[in-house]
Structure 1
Amino acid sequence: MFHSVKGAWESASRENMSDVRELTPEFFFLPEFLTNCNAVEFGCMQDGTALGDVQLPPWADGDPGKFISLHRQALESDFVSANLHHWIDLIFGYKQQGSAAVEAVNTFHPYFYGDKVDLGSIGDPLIRNTILGFVSNFGQVPKQLFTKPHPARTAAGKPSPGKDVTPSSLPGHPQPFPCSLQSLRPSQVTVKGSESPKGAIGHIVPTEKSVLAVERGKLLLPPAWSRTFCWGADDLSCCLGSYGSDKVLMTFENLAAWGRCLCAVCPSPTTIVTSGDSSVVCVWELSMAKGRPSGLHLKQALYGHTQAVTCLAASVTFSILVSGSQDCTCILWDLDYLTHVARLPTHQEAISAVAISDISGTIVSCAGAHLSLWNVNGQPLASITTAWGPEGAITCCCMVEGPAWDASHAIITGSRDGMVRIWKTEDMKGSVPGEVAPEEPSAPPTSPKGHRCEKNLALCRELDISVALTGKPSKTNPAVTALAMSRNQPKLLVGDEKGRIFCWSAEG
């Protein structure tokens, strides 16, 4: 049983030469696998040590999140880049078999080489089942892809041979993408989309050639963004429209049975999720015939909220759907199986906005002026009150997608007071995992379960849409209603309730 990182390393590296291990993908993205969060009784070791959470190296400070984060950073380090070809030689290359494998102490039982054993030629079922048991428990050597040494990857730094590598000695990384947000500068004029929205901006999609935007009550559909899903009609029906015109392609009257639609999200070209004052989250399948929509059919109705659902967010990468409601709760749903996954701890106010990072799976929830971050399993990461008073209530939010190895997050929020605020996460200095912070305004927030959040949220920038337009602040800013971040370049697009779109771009 995997009990200690140190013990596993010492066993595989020097104490037991028959102990062959390789890090599973979870070592680079899932801190939860190191924690016995369900308090399962695994018993004790022979020396009496109780089995539970995996014992981490000292440099992880007892924090599984930090352990995983440093592993991700190490994958992008110059040391790994300079030695990657050696690993390829052992696993897929010329050191996998033959004399080079013997010299590298990289040989295994013949049963583990798939091309060396012909199970069909073994008549004795006992021997055949024994071999299959070996393979099932220990795996097989991958197919050899290279018969010559693999060339080394070019790395910026040259690590010294034989030098011990620790997290603190890893070469520094370039500044992550969110740091460019510090240099954002506003454009002198408002951005004109391909279509002129007729009210408050509801959805913005930046493309390579233009900026697409629609008003509230409309949603641009991927992948071409040439169609819109519209709701808010007096008869409670919804329709499919053509972007840039008032043409209605198809009307869906069957949605009226589920009450007034208040929000929608489109995780894929053929899946639309809606919800509203019925409190039921409905997942619909858009049928296509010869490239044209032919109908909208209900796949699943998801029950869990007790009041109107006000916002939705989805991530196909992590197969997550998040719904936020006026009942002050957020619920996580499995997007593949369309089942309940988890309910986030109750917020103090109705949920106004949610977002999901496609890089880390981090979930953002906004309730009033309160901003909270959660991991993909619903555990608290960070929380902060962003402003005071009703005018500071958050109306929309989005995540800034940085490099996969970067454990920090950048979150952008838009508020009723017309301000755009950029937040970043910071590791808590000297924090003790599991310790509950004292009840004081400056203390790190805690979840209702008493678990201390892992990170702090710090304000990076405040952007004023009035300053962007006139050069002077205003006391009567219209509310920010939509946000979007360009993926290809550091460009922030902000929509307001007057139907205008503002742009901030990073220098350089």
Structure 2
Amino acid sequence: MIDKFHYGTHYSNAAGVMHYMIRTEPFTTLHIQLQSGRFDCSDRQFHSVPAAWQARMENPVDVKELIPEFFYFTDFLENQNGFDLGCLQMSNDKVSDVVLPKWATSPEDFIHKHRKALESEHVSPHRHEWIDLIFGYKQRGPAAVEALNVFYYCTYEGAVDLDAIADETQRKALEGIISNFGQTPCQLLKEPHPVRLSAENAARRVARLDTYSPDVFENLHQLKSFFVEGISDGVPLVQAVVPKNQAHSFITQGSPDVLVTVSANGLLGTHGWLPYDKNISNYFSFTKDPTVTNAKAQRVLSGPFAPGAELSARTLTVSPDGKLLFSGGHWDNSLRVTALSKGKVVGHIARHIDVVTCLALDLCGIYLISGSRDTTCMVWRVLQQGGFSSNLAPKPVQVLYGHDAEVTCVAINTELDMAVSGSQDGTIIVHTIRRGQFMTSIRPPCESSLPATVANLAVGPEGQIVVQTTVAGRGVGQAGRGLSPWDAPCGQDRASQ
């Protein structure tokens, strides 16, 4: 006897994802396989946002939930690959890009407004109701019945013991149902989820706390300047960084952090740096590393460096725990690892076939990415010993191809599985870290007809890419510069927003 249920379909399943993502690989291929080697009837495809909304409102059986891509990914709304999706039966209109609502001027505008609506003061106070239905107390039991939220029994965790089914045919049939029909997530909460605070109430709560970091730009009038002793007289600094994850024991709690500096002549410094602390009266202090002025004790980054690849912030990066300095630009095309405590080279790896031009570490210091004049990028794993960074693995995790010119800057985000690289010819390429797969290629807009070089780039926590470009061939003081925000998943310019 099958338990009673309200819906014979499910809000989240593989077919539903393929329905929305039909224009984007690998979902296009998966959709064709599901439809026995051809595209589904054009009228049943996801061809229009207004039509999809109308279908969900009029058909109580269709309970498809919006997939996350509706809030960040514009590619699935555009037929960039030019697939022949057929024509609609009633109007004979050709199905290509998804028809957007009248209030959206472009796919980017649609995603921007959609995400804004999700975080709006109208939606936020009701977010807990969705949580109660999907993950909370209304997922099962009498509360689910009352909320009209009961689905086919096979979708629930623990409803079927596949190991107890002796009949192989029956077991495979149930596995197919569970896999294709959809699965209800684990029930996480047995009580109603609290209502999210409004923006006003959240601001009041934050105002009562003295632990949050103030916005520098809102408090410019309160900024104080501090002058510190010169580090290397007459020699400019090319790198100055305070590593973010420095270890402090209970005994050394409150002691200064380490400020790592590298001078243009390769001189290394590890100085004491104590920023603002409301519990300390002398809340700013700088203690100069005594070795920088002691000729016998000085630590110098070993060279020589290749012509045109002198020391710069792009060829240097420090591990988040402040233990290691990674450097490129060396004449022998090597990537070197220097222990900052003693200034000694602990790693010397030559895998690129030309000079290493740029380096970057991920936020946690797990992976390092290198770019080179040989037009490739390599992703390396940072080895750990006793909880601290100790060296680089001798072989790269991935070798990334795609550029036609020298790689000039790189960035990496492990959480988003993104490795981003920019080159001398103005091309930006996004790869995955784990598999090394090419994802997309981007060219920032340039007003000049001259070639633009990607000088710097950064990846945001949600996958946005900020790019700085320079235009070569102009006189001193006239070099063109541009700054463009981009959304990594789709490669679309966000400057207009």
Q: Which of 49, 55, 59 in structure 2 is aligned with 1:11? A: 55
Q: In the TM superposition, what are the counterparts of 1:408-427 in structure 2 within 5 Å? A: none
Q: Which residue of 1 aligns with 2:325?
A: 228
Task: Determine the C-alpha separation between the residues in 2 that align with 1:323 and 1:120.
Answer: 48
Q: Does 1:39 pair with 2:135?
A: no
1:92–1:145 Cα contact (<8 Å) kept: yes
Report the AA paired with residue 28 of structure 1: F
Q: In the TM superposition, what are the counterparts of 1:294-313 in structure 2 within 5 Å? A: 296-313=394-411
Deviation at 1:30, TM superposition (A): 0.9
1:263–1:275 Cα contact (<8 Å) kept: yes
1:61-82, CA deviations, whole angstroms, 9 ceiling, x for partnerless residues?
A: 3x22222222222232222221
2:355–2:374 Cα contact (<8 Å) kept: yes
Structure of greater relative contact order (alpha carbons < 8 Å, 6+ residues apart) = 1
Q: Which residue of 1 aligns with 2:111?
A: 68
Q: Does 1:456 pair with 2:485?
A: no
Q: Does 1:319 pair with 2:356?
A: no
Task: Determine the C-alpha separation between the residues in 2 that align with 1:389 and 1:139.
Answer: 62
> What value does the CA root-mean-square deviation take over the aligned residues?
4.1
Q: Which of 454, 477, 486 in structure 2 is aligned with 1:391? A: 477
Report the AA paired with residue 316 of structure 1: T
Task: Determine the C-alpha separation between the residues in 1 that align with 2:440 and 2:371.
Answer: 18
Q: Which of 167, 170, 193 in structure 2 is aligned with 1:150? A: 193
Q: Which residue of 2 aligns with 1:240?
A: 337
Q: Which residue of 2 aligns with 1:84?
A: 127
Q: In the TM superposition, what are the counterparts of 1:110-259 in structure 2 within 5 Å? A: 110-120=153-163, 127-156=170-199, 181=217, 184=220, 188-189=225-226, 199-202=236-239, 204-205=241-242, 207=244, 212-215=260-263, 216-217=311-312, 219-233=316-330, 237-243=334-340, 247-252=343-348, 254=350, 258-259=353-354
Deviation at 1:203, TM superposition (A): 5.7
Deviation at 1:31, TM superposition (A): 1.4
2:318–2:324 Cα contact (<8 Å) kept: yes
The farther-off stretch of 52-61 and 280-289 is: 280-289
Deviation at 1:4, TM superposition (A): 2.5
Q: Which residue of 2 aligns with 1:50?
A: 94
Q: Which residue of 2 aligns with 1:265?
A: 360
Report the AA paired with residue 60 of structure 1: A
SS in 2 for 1:85: helix
SS in 2 for 1:258: coil
Deviation at 1:37, TM superposition (A): 1.4
Deviation at 1:212, TM superposition (A): 4.2
Deviation at 1:38, TM superposition (A): 0.9
Deviation at 1:321, TM superposition (A): 2.6
Q: Which residue of 2 aligns with 1:481?
A: none
Q: Which residue of 2 aligns with 1:445?
A: none
SS in 2 for 1:153: coil
1:170-214, CA deviations, whole angstroms, 9 ceiling, x for partnerless residues?
A: xxxxxxx99964765675455679999953424645749655443
Structure 2: runs of 5 or more not aligned: 1-44, 202-212, 246-255, 264-310
* CA spacing shift, 1:270–1:182, aligned 2, 3 Å: closer
SS in 1 for 2:133: helix
Task: Determine the C-alpha separation between the residues in 2 that align with 1:119 and 1:106.
Answer: 25
Q: Does 1:334 pair with 2:429?
A: no
Report the AA paired with residue 71 of structure 2: F
Report the AA paired with residue 391 of structure 1: G
Deviation at 1:3, TM superposition (A): 2.5
SS in 1 for 2:434: coil
Task: Determine the C-alpha separation between the residues in 1 that align with 2:162 and 2:382.
Answer: 47
1:387-417, CA deviations, whole angstroms, 9 ceiling, x for partnerless residues?
A: 985424378x9xxxxxxxxxxxxx6xxxxxx
1:112–1:141 Cα contact (<8 Å) kept: yes
Bigger radius of gyration among the two: 2
Deviation at 1:454, TM superposition (A): 5.7
2:380–2:392 Cα contact (<8 Å) kept: no
Task: Determine the C-alpha separation between the residues in 2 that align with 1:54 and 1:139.
Answer: 25
Q: Does 1:103 pair with 2:146?
A: yes
Deviation at 1:305, TM superposition (A): 3.8
Deviation at 1:251, TM superposition (A): 4.5
1:294-334, CA deviations, whole angstroms, 9 ceiling, x for partnerless residues?
A: 76334444444444333222232333333333344333333
TM-score by length of 1: 0.60
Task: Determine the C-alpha separation between the residues in 2 that align with 1:452 and 1:220.
Answer: 29
Q: Which of 446, 453, 456 in structure 2 is aligned with 1:351? A: 453
Task: Determine the C-alpha separation between the residues in 2 that align with 1:49 and 1:207.
Answer: 56
Task: Determine the C-alpha separation between the residues in 1 that align with 2:426 and 2:96.
Answer: 34
TM-score by length of 2: 0.61
Report the AA paired with residue 357 of structure 2: L
* CA spacing shift, 1:99–1:36, aligned 2, 3 Å: same
Report the AA paired with residue 367 of structure 1: T
2:427–2:454 Cα contact (<8 Å) kept: no
Task: Determine the C-alpha separation between the residues in 2 that align with 1:261 and 1:31.
Answer: 34
Report the AA paired with residue 464 of structure 2: T
SS in 2 for 1:297: coil
2:465–2:485 Cα contact (<8 Å) kept: no
SS in 1 for 2:477: helix
Task: Determine the C-alpha separation between the residues in 1 that align with 2:354 and 2:339.
Answer: 24
1:286–1:296 Cα contact (<8 Å) kept: no
Structure with the largest fraction of strand: 1
* CA spacing shift, 1:236–1:139, aligned 2, 3 Å: closer
* CA spacing shift, 1:134–1:191, aligned 2, 3 Å: farther
Task: Determine the C-alpha separation between the residues in 2 that align with 1:336 and 1:191.
Answer: 43
Residue-pair matches, total: 369
Deviation at 1:248, TM superposition (A): 1.1
Task: Determine the C-alpha separation between the residues in 1 that align with 2:437 and 2:152.
Answer: 44
Percentage of matched positions with identical amino acids: 33
1:110-157, CA deviations, whole angstroms, 9 ceiling, x for partnerless residues?
A: 333344444455566555444444333331333334444333333257
Task: Determine the C-alpha separation between the residues in 1 that align with 2:193 and 2:398.
Answer: 50
Structure 1: runs of 5 or more not aligned: 159-176, 371-386, 398-410, 412-422, 426-450, 458-508
1:283–1:299 Cα contact (<8 Å) kept: yes
